Chains A and B, each alone.
Chain A
Amino acid sequence: MSDADDPVIPLGARSIADAVAGGTFSAEQVVRAHLDGLEERDATVHAFLTVTAERALADAEAVDARVAAGVDPGPLAGVPVALKDNLCTRGIETTCASKILEGWKPPYDATVVERLRAAGAVTIGKANMDEFAMGSSCENSAFGPTRNPREPSRVPGGSSGGSAAVVAAGFAPLALGSDTGGSIRQPAALCGVVGVKPTYGAVSRYGLVAFASSLDQIGPFAGDVADAALLLETIAGHDERDSTSIPDGAPEISIHLDDGVDGLRVGVVTDLLGDGIAGDVAARVRAAAEALSAAGADVGEVEIPELAYGLSAYYLIAPAEASSNLARFDGVRYGLRVDAPTTAEMMVATRTAGFGPEVKRRIMLGTYALSAGYYDAYYGKALKVRTRICRAFERAYADFDVLLTPTSPTTAFELGATTDPLAMYLNDVCTIPSNLAGHPAMSVPFGVGDNGLPVGVQILAPALGEVPMFRAAAALEEATR
């Protein structure tokens, strides 16, 4: 049976949950349909590093038992979900797409994984990614790249490229990723799905393998805006096991999706529509602004020249934090060990064999930026740029409720085409500022570029501005229907 004939695959998360709760489909039927689909087609896409079919079918049976017993099976009853492979799953291999963690089975579940299961969702596997979430194309995976399901010669974006590809290919209606400088939004844009980076602190990071702790957030991928809202509501909320978890980070979003955008003040960031942004992408952002205006929003233009400097600040701050976070991979407690006569030599041998080139580059860059004599010139200065960006956003949000930019400067690029690290980093110019400020931002598909590939439009909001952000997203989605 091809996917087109399958009654389950084209359904989104809400429809599946309703159908499972109402008895139209069993959770087992839903999960089997998705497992069959990915078994047939993931050989080409390579979105998954691990598929946990047996576990998923057992979990689906448990959901069906709840339905049969008349117990509420939860808002995501029977909905298959893929997890980025930097989210810890107890007893299930969690690699961060790195040889240094190959074979590692965590002794605990991430909080988001617990919350998904409590909501009736069925996790079906671990999605490919750039090693330790460092990359914008999914080509830095130690286990081979993921291909863009829309056009297999192209990258899916990164670092959460596997998660984006899962949703775009219909392998699961939902996936979780992590976003440190755009790693959810950029692959969402390149794959033509919805991707959300929530407010910093809104979603617990307990069980997320840390990359850059002042920037990392977990967030949803979905096929539409309402499914993304539902998934975010499921995973958001305070968790005492994450000391950066905030108390009021879980607003009700779904009930506001039909509120419309009448009077919503939308600022088009003109600085991010010129140099370095492809013309076809910029044109879609302008079209999105017109669509929001037609839907009743007050659309204006805003200049925020500081945002362009976010890239420079980010590529010092994130590697600095990474160089510290990744010091824990030393061959002592988990993962790879390369034997050597002394512990010091063992650690060097293990890290040298276990980390890939991009991870080494970031560790080196970060170590340098933090080292004696260079701290003030690089890291210290980057932290001041971060302050300037936060202040610039504050000024913009005095006049606007949300801001509009491209998500990525281009549509999906060819696999293997970008070999210069700096050129790859430039892909993140539009997404980085929200991470530096701790603000929410999301990418919504809005048509295609000149090559027929998806274009994502990015909506930015101030901290805890998820509701206006999703209202704008829902209006954009409505305009494309």
Chain B
Amino acid sequence: MTERITRDDVAHVARLANLALDDDELTTMTGQLAAVLDHAADVEALELDGVEPTTHPLPLRNVWREDVVGATLDRDEVLAAAPAVDQDRFEVPAILGGEP
């Protein structure tokens, strides 16, 4: 198998994705991602020069609703599902490190 993706690449991507992988997981994941990327190389057989990309099946435009007051989600119900709440807000640990 070609070295399509390295262990260092995988470690970097894990950081971008906010995931922690241990050594075994890094090894396994490197092999599995390489296999999928190798398979994906089969598209080299297709002529793609000058082909426009398709990001979406519909010719989407922004969709606006009327600017009128309508029902929104119940605030208490929304906050009840959160792991931690302070008054009417979602509560999180320190943002910058150290004690909050």
Contacts and interface: CB of A to CB of B under 8 A. Distances in A.
Interface string B65-86: 1000000011001101111100
Contacts, number: 165
B95 A343 contact: yes
Contacts of A337: 83-84
Nearest to B62: A243
Given A368-B13, A422-B39, A387 B51 contact: yes
Contacts of B73: 107-108
Interface of B: 5, 9-10, 12-14, 16-21, 29, 32-33, 35-37, 39-43, 45-46, 48, 51-58, 60, 62-63, 65, 73-74, 77-78, 80-84, 90, 92-97
Most B C-beta atoms less than 10 A away, residue of A367, A380, A463: A367
Contact of B81 (A107, A243, A364): A107
Per DSSP, chain B at the interface is loop
Contacts of A365: 33, 36
Given A368-B5, A384-B48, A332 B90 contact: yes
A200 B58 contact: yes
Contacts of B36: 315, 365, 421-422, 425
A306 B77 CA distance: 48
A309 B95 contact: no
Interface in A120-169: none
A338 to B, nearest CB: 9
Most A C-beta atoms less than 10 A away, residue of B39, B43, B51, B52: B43
Interface residues of A, number: 72
Contact of B33 (A313, A345, A368, A436): A368
A214 B55 contact: yes
Contacts of B20: 348-349, 352
Nearest to A422: B35
A337 B78 CA distance: 16
A306 B65 CA distance: 39
B22 to A, nearest CB: 10
